[in-house]
Amino acid sequence: MALDFPPETGPLPAEWFAPLKFVAASQVGERAAHFLDVEDFMVMARVIRPPRPKIVLYKHVHTRAYLNLDADGQAYRFVPVRGSDQGRYIRRPLGVALRALGLDELPWMKPGLEGERRGLPWEDRVILSITLDREYRATGRPRRRDGDATRPRRSPRGHDETTVATTEGGARHGHLHVV
């Protein structure tokens, strides 16, 4: 296992954002991706783990939560081994990974989404999640401002595991925390 970090200067090569863009395109209209915006993510690192797929680690700029994806859009979560600097990445359903990002809190965090609060204060933000859940269940589609109600294909799901070692260091290596 090795970690590959994005270049510190210059534009980021497209390959770093390809898994996230793939997931965003495949999840249009899905409940878990209601507030998903590729522009809201930072690329933290890539886990190289031959012969398994590489995993790119993305951090949401507002919620500070991680989304770990391979090139096929499969989501992973890091599970540390207690009392060790090692752990493993295990597959997780994409919908679960997207919900773990806390995107339903974005109307209170991200400028420009204030209108999505539906008049609710921060203390009642869970009501927005419940309301959105009901709308999706009732219609099978989101209530979107642009009227687009296309249904995407779903991401693959599975349960394999891989072991990795974390690295010592500062904030740049904070991506190996539990998501």
- Residue 176 · residue 78 · CB < 8 Å: yes
Instruction: Tell me the whole-structure pTM to 2 decimals.
Output: 0.76
Q: What is the pLDDT of residue 143?
A: 53
Q: What is the mean pLDDT of the chain?
A: 81
What would the mean pLDDT of 66-94 be, rounded to a whole number? 93
